[in-house]
Amino acid sequence: MIANNIFRAIGDFFTNVAFAPYDWIRNDVDNWWLQNAFSWVLALITMSYFVYWMLQLNKFKKEGNQ
């Protein structure tokens, strides 16, 4: 029963607290560009870190450190 309550608490936290800004954006913002801006920012950050990681891997491969 305790484990069940822990998982319910985690689900309640993500449903009511962590994703509340997304619910606000979805319901109150009518502009499609603003609704998707956060996703684009996260995608750009992810792509930039991926490019940095690939450049570092290439650098270490050229130096002979594997």
Residues 24, 47: one domain?
no
Per-residue pLDDT reduced to its tens digit, 28-50: 888 888 888 888 999 999 999 99
How many CA atoms lie within 13 Å of 41's alpha carbon, on the beta-carbon side? Answer: 6
**What does each C-alpha distance from 45 to 13, 18, 21, 64 come to in angstroms?**
26, 20, 20, 29
For 33, residues 6+ apart whose C-beta sits below 8 A from its C-beta are none
Residues 65, 40: one domain?
yes
Residues 35, 25: one domain?
no
Residues 22, 2: one domain?
yes
Which domain range does residue 65 map to?
Answer: 31-66
Per-residue pLDDT reduced to its tens digit, 52-64: 999 999 999 998 8
